């Protein structure tokens, strides 16, 4: 009997209390799919990856020639007199000097700064993809937490409201017994105080549920209408703690993103050092001029030139040397930040492993507490009927049972969240691991669309 009541008051309260009549149930998979598609944090990080993609064609531009065209036009009038016996009349000459040309400048070698810039841009793209994967993990974990928060808070509110009804009945019975002289006014006051406290607790639970509903909508993009119970993850989790730590150090996106950051910082050192090397370039120019100054009116001139140039840096006040040293220090800083990130991830894995491992024990203890509290309340009520227990004893036993049921609901909530937290800590909380039926966002599509794009201001989506 006690076990049946446990399942009805705790587990069923978490699920059935949420079911709207005739509404289709929402599963955790469906909720996470909505979060994956609609969450603004994920979408803005996808946009950040697309921003990084454009650094590839920007860096590749260093291999391309720089082509420019120029043109000019003017009016000129020359009036001359007193030129001698051979020129009896003043000289009046009008002309319209004008021309156009095309200049092509091609970098031949610049200390390999272009090649290193391209590789640095690629590292930035890979790092941004890992940051996106980390954001997806965090959003999915938050969505699981808010999903379970709604279920927990709904169940707790249902328990609190049920407790108010029980205490109302307890107050009515105590008042009847007071009227016939079986109890004192103190017993009535105790029942009234318990009822007032229960009503306040129910109002607090209602406020907490409203906050959880708001968080759910923010993370998932929809209002929860009918949530189904969730089982903790088992199959997807590592079997032992050393395995979990090893996986996290290799696969966690926060660590992988930092490793790409190290690559980018190392390439920045090479780029800075490249400024110390000579620069070799070619410049070709074609110019057409009309009414060339000093030539007869109507004359034309076509000029073609090709020039090779080498520039050897000697000294720029020390700025290039300082920039190189600064890049090396930034590389060292990034390496230290990566070590710090490794330690943070390891600590998170250990903490998540401990919490998840203890969840089953906490859940068993909570169930045992509910069973014992139910038996205790039933006994106290029977003893109170024959005068062996006071009204306060009954009220305390009723409150102990309520607290035990709330702890059970909380333990059920925590067991699910802890399992997802462990999967996130090792770096494997993803739609692929969870088997979500949702199209995967592939950042390589946009990358392939823009990496060789040489002109045009419209983005691939038409903006």
Integer Cα distance of 68 and 105 in angstroms: 9
Integer Cα distance of 258 and 264 in angstroms: 10
The reported pLDDT for the residue numbered 77 is 78
Give the count of alpha carbons within 13 A of 49, CB side only. 26
Token pair for residue 117?
């810039």
Q: To which residue do tokens 């009945």 refer?
A: 169
Integer Cα distance of 267 and 277 in angstroms: 16
Find out whether 59 and 135 touch, Cβ atoms under 8 Å: no
Find out whether 136 and 17 touch, Cβ atoms under 8 Å: no
* Percentage of the chain exceeding pLDDT 70: 91
Q: Please tell me the total number of residues recorded for the chain in this structure.
A: 463
The reported pLDDT for the residue numbered 296 is 60
Find out whether 87 and 167 touch, Cβ atoms under 8 Å: no
The reported pLDDT for the residue numbered 39 is 95
3-state DSSP call for residue 373?
Answer: helix
Q: To which residue do tokens 């978490």 refer?
A: 14
What residue ranges of the chain have pLDDT lower than 50?
1-22
For the chain, the first-to-last Cα distance in angstroms comes to 65
The reported pLDDT for the residue numbered 7 is 40
Residues 6+ apart with CB under 8 A from 88: none
Give the count of alpha carbons within 13 A of 109, CB side only. 8
Residues paired with 310 in a beta bridge: 280
Find out whether 69 and 105 touch, Cβ atoms under 8 Å: no
Find out whether 273 and 111 touch, Cβ atoms under 8 Å: yes
Beta 76-80 vs 91-95: how paired, if at all? antiparallel
Which runs of E-coded beta strand occur in 17-86? 66-73, 76-80
Find out whether 145 and 3 touch, Cβ atoms under 8 Å: no
The reported pLDDT for the residue numbered 295 is 58
52, with CB counted inside 10 A (0-12, 13-18, 19+), is buried
Integer Cα distance of 48 and 51 in angstroms: 5
Report phi then psi at 106, rounded to 5: -125, 125
Integer Cα distance of 52 and 264 in angstroms: 13
The pTM of the full predicted model, rounded to 2 decimals, is 0.86
The reported pLDDT for the residue numbered 327 is 97
The reported pLDDT for the residue numbered 387 is 82
The reported pLDDT for the residue numbered 303 is 93
pLDDT digits (tens, 9 = 90+) for 442-454: 999 999 999 999 9
* Cα 360 → chain centroid: 30
Q: What is the CATH number of domain 2-37+112-276+324-438?
A: 1.20.1600.10
């Amino acid at each position: 009997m006690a076990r049946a009541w446990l399942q009805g008051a705790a587990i069923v309260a978490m699920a059935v209390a949420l079911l709207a009549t005739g509404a289709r149930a929402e599963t955790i998979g469906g909720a996470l799919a909505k979060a994956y598609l609609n969450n603004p944090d994920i979408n803005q990080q996808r946009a950040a990856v697309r921003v990084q993609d454009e650094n590839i064609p920007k860096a590749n531009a260093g291999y391309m020639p720089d082509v420019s065209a120029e043109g000019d036009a003017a009016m000129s009038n020359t009036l001359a007199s007193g030129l001698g016996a051979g020129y009896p009349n003043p000289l009046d000459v009008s002309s319209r000097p004008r021309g156009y040309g095309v200049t092509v400048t091609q970098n031949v070698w610049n200390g390999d700064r272009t090649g290193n810039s391209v590789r640095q841009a690629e590292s930035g793209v890979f790092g941004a993809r890992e940051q996106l994967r980390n954001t997806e993990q965090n959003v999915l974990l938050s969505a699981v937490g808010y999903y379970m928060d709604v279920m927990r808070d709904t169940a707790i509110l249902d328990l609190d409201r049920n407790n108010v009804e029980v205490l109302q009945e307890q107050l009515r019975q105590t008042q009847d017994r007071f009227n016939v002289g079986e109890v004192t006014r103190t017993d009535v006051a105790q029942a009234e105080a318990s009822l007032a406290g229960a009503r306040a607790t129910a109002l607090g639970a209602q406020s907490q549920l409203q906050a959880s509903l708001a968080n759910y909508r923010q993370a998932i993009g929809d209002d929860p209408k009918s949530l189904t119970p969730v089982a903790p993850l088992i199959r997807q989790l590592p079997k032992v703690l050393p395995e979990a730590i090893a996986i996290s150090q290799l696969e966690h996106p926060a660590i992988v993103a930092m490793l790409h950051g190290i690559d980018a910082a190392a390439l920045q050192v090479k780029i800075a050092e490249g400024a110390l090397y000579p620069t070799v370039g070619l410049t070709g120019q074609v110019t057409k001029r009309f009414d060339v100054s000093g030539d007869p009116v109507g004359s034309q001139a076509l000029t073609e030139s090709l020039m090779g140039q080498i520039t050897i840096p000697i000294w720029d006040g020390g700025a290039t040397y300082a920039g190189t040293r600064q890049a090396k220090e930034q590389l060292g800083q990034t390496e230290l930040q990566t070590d710090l990130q490794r330690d943070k991830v390891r600590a998170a894995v250990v903490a998540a492993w401990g919490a998840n491992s203890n969840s089953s024990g906490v859940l068993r203890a909570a169930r045992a507490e509910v069973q014992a509290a139910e038996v205790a309340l039933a006994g106290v009520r029977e003893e109170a009927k024959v005068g062996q227990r006071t009204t306060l004893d009954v009220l305390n036993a009723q409150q102990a049972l309520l607290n035990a049921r709330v702890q059970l609901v909380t333990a059920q909530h925590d067991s699910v969240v802890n399992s997802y937290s462990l999967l996130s800590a090792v770096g494997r909380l993803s739609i692929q691991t969870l088997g979500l039926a949702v199209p995967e966002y592939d950042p390589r599509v946009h990358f392939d669309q823009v990496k060789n794009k040489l002109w045009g201001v419209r983005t691939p989506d038409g903006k």
